[in-house]
Amino acid sequence: MQKYLYITLLLALAMACGSGTKKSNVEGPRILTVTIEPQRYFLDQIVGDMFTINTLVPPGTSPETYEPAPSVMVDMAKSNVYFMVGDLGFENVWSKRLAKNNPNVTIINCSEGIVRMEGHDHDHDHGHDLHHTHLHSHSGIDPHVWSSPYAVKVFTRNMLNEIVKIDPDNAGTYEANYEILLAKIEKTDSLIRDLLKNVSSKSFIIYHPALGYFARDYGLNQISIEFEGKSPSPSQIKEIVDVARKEKINTIFIERSFDTKNTTVIAHEIGAQVFEIDPLRYEWDVELLRIATILAREVK
């Protein structure tokens, strides 16, 4: 019995020591807020269970119709850091609000340092009405940087730098975790590169243009059905069909919860296959590899 007590005591002591090494400069609840699930995936790899991570756009929610509840701002205000993707119209509105009401929350633009692409399809004319905010850029910049492994290296480095800044006592752990994440990103990149070596068509069609940076990385051409965030006109559909025939496009991507009517019409017209993808999926690497596998399916 005494021996048992002694072991319990030792265990308690070991646990106390263990938590001692996790001492940090972060005060209060250790909460990080991100906009989308792939960001939570990256942060999970870097911080492990050292922080709680909140995602603003819940899984399975279309960012196009996302309507934040009033409680979201309350939760955001409890965070140590809010990691923005960077160029999403919705984020600009919310980060300004957050900065004004809660100057103690650090706001980090994860896209800082990434060479951004023009997003001709992202110039929306709707206003900043919060009940109808669109997740996309109002500045004409394509916000979907996370579809590129290259960009994600910079993106996650920005995350790491801030985590190390707010919790320097555990910097070694975060940096070691980051090295593992980097290796995973590089592995994903080389697997995609291998898969795409012999694709039969360098072009693909997508309803919503979420893969611009992916296309840039791998020398592909993204053609979007959606035009300036809206359904295409009959003449625009005809234009897409003509290009698709010329370039022998056999793949059409569509994100969950987008209107499939025009997609089906075009697919039927050009004899292409439609695949549902989820660029907002938590398992970032799995989804990118899936997309590459779909594009490469004709290859023997």
Residue 24 to residue 249: CA distance in whole angstroms: 53
CB 111, min distance to Zn ion, A: 14
- Of all residues in this chain, which one has the CB nearest to Zn ion in the complex? 210
Q: Name which of 55 and 80 has its Cβ closer to Zn ion.
A: 55
- CB under 5 A: which stretch of 6-14, 208-216, 267-275, 283-291 binds Zn ion? 208-216
Q: Which of 32, 81, 210, 254 binds Zn ion (CB under 5 A)?
A: 210
- CB under 5 A: which stretch of 78-86, 146-154, 173-181, 204-212 binds Zn ion? 204-212
Q: What residues have CB less than 8 Å from 255, skipping those under 6 apart?
A: 62, 207, 208, 210, 276, 277, 278, 279, 280
CB 65, min distance to Zn ion, A: 12
Residues 266, 252: contact at Cβ < 8 Å? yes
CB 63, min distance to Zn ion, A: 6
Asked if 270 touches Zn ion (CB under 5 A), the answer is: no
Pick out residues in 117-136 that bind Zn ion (CB under 5 A): none
Can you point out the beta strands (E) in 106-162? 106-109
Tokens of 231: 């359904």
Residues 197, 293: contact at Cβ < 8 Å? no
CB 40, min distance to Zn ion, A: 17
Q: What residues have CB less than 8 Å from 53, skipping those under 6 apart?
A: 31, 32, 33, 34, 40, 43, 44, 47
Residue 103 to residue 77: CA distance in whole angstroms: 9
CB 220, min distance to Zn ion, A: 17
CB 276, min distance to Zn ion, A: 15
Q: Name which of 107 and 135 has its Cβ closer to Zn ion.
A: 135
- CB under 5 A: which stretch of 31-39, 163-171, 182-190, 209-217 binds Zn ion? 209-217
Residue 87 to residue 124: CA distance in whole angstroms: 13
Residues in the chain: 300
Residues 141, 111: contact at Cβ < 8 Å? no
Q: Name which of 66 and 150 has its Cβ closer to Zn ion.
A: 66
Q: What residues make contact with Zn ion under the rule CB under 5 A?
A: 210
